[in-house]
Structures are given as structure tokens and as C-alpha cells.
């Protein structure tokens, strides 16, 4: 197996010729020059390297600009996140098996994963001139991203092949969800050190952990599809005046679960509470209409709202783990630069929605 790069210096001309040659990207061409630079915005679970590549021919399809995603250099991330949740295997496997998932994704040029070392690399064609709004998505961008979900979810609605992919987090994976909700419940006990109003979350995570077997039983009764799992605007690129197209990145946590989980994650992390409260019902109706337009007819608004509530629980579980187990200072710094209250974005928006939708009562009644 071709060695997996550990830092920017490992992306040599020889290595790129082997990697891109193996994946069939080069044709008869060869890489003759490559310069690499590390992203100024470090990722929470991986490192990002930008590659400028020159070839011995001018074939139009050769990628001049490549984004490389490689193993985090933070050992705590590897020990506490990657080793427990297996994101590197999940993402490389996703790009291998789902080149056309029904929603625009980056063109994956090469991927490799080493289980024994917990190392990976993914090479993707640069999405520029499209740009990511990071955490500062506009209301229009949120609506656009939500509108992409019906085609994506309907393509995989109750498809048996999803159940055979062991790298996808399955809705009935008791081991995974026990690990996740146990971690969230333990972390929630320390939330008062960070947030002034967190009682509702602390109680919810305790109840969710207690009710987990019944939650999983409920989820097993629901229709399922392929779900991004962390569908928010920092994982998205939108076209600009210079061009580009909408695309979704960072497939480290693909789920086989209810499509409303993606809807809940985006709307409740990225939208302000006033916008969410004013638009939520209409946007849910649009999502349901989109599913029906793609042939999913035996799914009601009542069922969608049930799945949406569970999506809120999952999303807030992810938020809680992120606050307690990753370098949250990266989010704080980025939000401060964007003029966004990071606590509102990562915590209070979803907590308010959980209260609005009376999710605690729903769990109690399971």
C-alpha cells in the first residue's frame, strides 16, 4: 500500500504520480511539480493541506488545485475521538462507495486508510471558486441547503444495501449509541462550568442514556435513508459570483437513519432562533413536499415531526461531545471572527428547540 502522508512535506511529485496514477486521474500525463501549504484554519479532527499541481501536459481535466485531508497531528483527537468513533474509516469508505450519493460532493481523486495506525488521506478536487460560509450561513443559504435534502434522502429511502455497510452508523447500533450517549451524559455534568443555562440539556442527556434501548427500538420502526450526520454550513460550499456549485464535504459520520436528522442539524445549529421559529413549519412542509416529488408518498407530517424531534436529540448529543472532547477554542476563535456567539450556535439554539418541541416529554413517554 502506498504510504499515507503525515504532513505537507510528504506530498511529493513521486507520491502524487503514484496516488493519482492508481486512481486513474492522470491518463497518460505525469505530475512534474507540486507545492503544498497547510490550511490556516485547522480542522477539529483532521489536517487540511492545499496542493498546487503542475503536469507535463495541459489536459483540461487534470486537477490543478487539490485539497488533501490527512490524519490529525493532535494525539488527543486520535485517542479520544478517532479511536472511539472511527471517522477516518467511515469517510474513506464513503468516498469509495458513494461517488454519486444524490447530493453534490467533492470529486474524490484518491483515498486510503490504515486501520492499524489510524491514519488516512483523501485527495479532493478544490471546490473553488465556490466558498464556504463557515458558521455564518445566510438564511438564503440555509434554505438552499435544506432544499437539497429531499433528492438525497429519497434516493436511499429504505434501501437494503445501506444495511450492509458496516462503516455507516446504523440506527440500531447499540454499542455506538451507548458509547455516544454515555459520553454526552458524563460531559453534560460539567456543562455548568461553560454555560449559564444548561439544566434542560443535562436532564435530557441523562434521560436519553436511560431510555436508549427504547429510543433504538423506536428508531428501528422508522423508515431510514443515508444521512450525512453532521449537516451544517461549515461542511458546505456555495457558488459565488465567480462560479462554483453547492457541495457537501466532511463525510466522517454518515448514518443509516432518518433523513430529518440532517434537517434538524442544519436548521438548529446554523439558523438563529427567531428565523428557525418563524420558518420551521414551512421548511418542514417543503422538505416533505420534496420527498413526495421524488416518489416518497407514504410518509406523513406527523412522522416527519417525530423523526425531527429525534434528530434534535442526536444533534445536541453531537454538540455536547464536541464541547467536551474536541478543541472548542477553534470554534470560539472562528465564531468570534465571524461575529457569532459560539455558545448560541453550539448550544443554546438547539436547547431552545428541544424545549419548544417538548422533546424531554417525548423521551419520558417512550
- If 0-12 CB within 10 Å is exposed, 13-18 middle and 19+ buried, where does residue 289 land? exposed
Q: Sketch the domain layout of the chain as residue ranges.
A: 8-125, 139-364
Its pTM stands at 0.94
Q: How many residues does the chain have?
A: 366
The pLDDT tens digits of the residues spanning 135-167 come to: 999 999 999 999 999 999 999 999 999 999 999
CATH among 3.30.200, 3.40.50, 2.30.30, 3.10.350 for 8-125: 3.30.200
CB 208 within 8 A of CB 313: yes
Per CATH, 8-125 and 139-364 having the same topology is answered no
Report pLDDT for 330.
87
Q: What is the CA radius of gyration of the chain?
A: 21
The pLDDT tens digits of the residues spanning 64-95 come to: 999 999 999 988 888 878 888 899 999 999 99
CB 320 within 8 A of CB 167: no
SS3 353: helix
SS3 113: strand
- Calpha distance 163→225 (Å, rounded): 10
Please report how the helices 301-325 and 174-188 are oriented relative to each other, as an axis angle in degrees rounded to 10.
60
Hey, what's the torsion of the CAs at 311, 298, 154, 159, to 10 degrees? 90
CB 366 within 8 A of CB 215: yes
| Antiparallel, parallel or unpaired: β 169-170 and 255-257 | parallel
CB 227 within 8 A of CB 260: no
- Calpha distance 114→244 (Å, rounded): 33
What is the mean pLDDT, run by run of 10 residues, along the chain of 366 residues? 95 97 92 95 86 94 96 86 88 96 97 94 97 97 98 98 97 95 96 96 97 97 97 97 97 97 98 98 98 98 98 97 87 95 98 98 96
Report pLDDT for 306.
98
CATH 1.10.10 is the classification of domain 139-364: no
Provide the β-strand partners of residue 131: 238
Report pLDDT for 250.
95
Report pLDDT for 81.
81
Which residue do the cell numbers 455558545 mark? 343
- Calpha distance 52→43 (Å, rounded): 20
Q: DSSP for 166-179?
A: TTSEETT-HHHHHH
Q: Which residues contact 127 (CB under 8 A, 6 or more apart)?
A: 67, 106, 237, 244, 245, 247, 249
Amino acid at each position: 500500500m502506498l504510504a499515507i502522508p503525515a504532513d505537507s512535506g510528504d506530498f511529493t511529485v513521486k507520491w502524487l504520480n503514484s496516488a493519482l496514477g492508481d486512481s486513474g486521474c492522470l491518463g497518460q500525463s505525469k505530475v512534474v511539480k507540486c507545492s503544498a501549504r497547510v490550511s490556516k484554519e485547522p480542522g477539529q479532527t483532521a489536517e487540511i493541506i492545499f496542493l498546487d499541481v503542475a503536469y507535463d501536459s495541459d489536459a483540461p481535466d487534470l486537477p490543478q488545485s487539490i485539497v488533501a485531508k490527512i490524519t490529525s497531528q493532535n494525539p488527543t483527537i486520535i485517542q479520544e475521538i478517532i479511536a472511539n468513533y472511527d471517522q477516518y474509516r467511515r469517510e474513506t469508505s464513503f468516498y469509495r462507495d458513494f461517488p454519486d450519493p444524490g447530493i453534490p460532493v467533492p470529486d474524490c481523486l484518491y483515498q486510503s486508510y490504515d486501520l492499524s495506525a489510524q491514519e488516512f488521506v483523501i485527495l479532493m478536487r478544490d471546490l473553488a471558486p465556490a466558498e464556504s460560509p463557515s458558521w455564518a450561513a445566510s438564511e438564503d443559504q440555509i434554505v438552499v441547503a435544506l432544499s437539497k435534502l429531499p433528492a438525497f434522502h429519497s434516493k436511499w429511502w429504505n434501501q437494503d444495501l445501506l444495511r450492509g455497510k458496516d462503516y455507516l452508523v446504523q440506527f440500531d447500533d447499540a454499542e455506538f449509541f451507548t458509547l455516544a450517549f454515555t459520553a454526552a451524559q458524563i460531559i453534560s455534568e460539567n456543562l455548568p462550568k461553560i454555560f449559564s443555562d444548561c439544566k434542560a440539556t443535562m436532564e435530557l442527556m441523562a434521560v436519553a442514556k436511560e431510555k436508549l434501548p427504547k429510543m433504538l427500538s423506536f428508531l428501528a420502526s422508522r423508515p431510514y435513508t443515508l444521512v450525512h450526520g453532521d449537516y451544517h454550513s461549515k461542511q458546505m460550499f456555495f457558488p459565488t459570483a465567480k462560479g462554483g456549485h453547492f457541495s457537501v464535504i466532511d463525510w466522517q459520520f454518515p448514518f443509516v437513519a432518518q433523513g430529518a436528522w440532517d434537517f434538524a442539524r442544519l436548521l438548529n445549529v446554523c439558523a438563529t432562533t427567531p428565523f428557525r421559529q418563524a420558518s420551521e413549519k414551512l421548511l418542514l412542509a417543503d422538505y416533505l413536499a420534496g420527498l413526495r416529488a421524488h416518489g416518497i408518498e407514504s410518509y406523513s407530517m406527523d412522522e416527519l415531526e417525530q423523526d425531527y424531534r429525534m434528530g434534535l436529540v442526536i444533534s445536541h448529543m453531537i454538540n455536547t461531545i464536541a464541547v467536551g472532547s474536541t478543541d472548542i477554542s477553534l470554534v470560539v476563535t472562528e465564531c468570534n471572527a465571524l461575529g457569532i456567539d459560539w455558545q448560541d450556535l453550539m448550544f443554546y439554539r438547539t436547547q431552545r428547540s428541544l424545549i419548544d418541541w417538548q422533546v424531554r416529554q417525548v423521551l419520558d413517554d417512550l
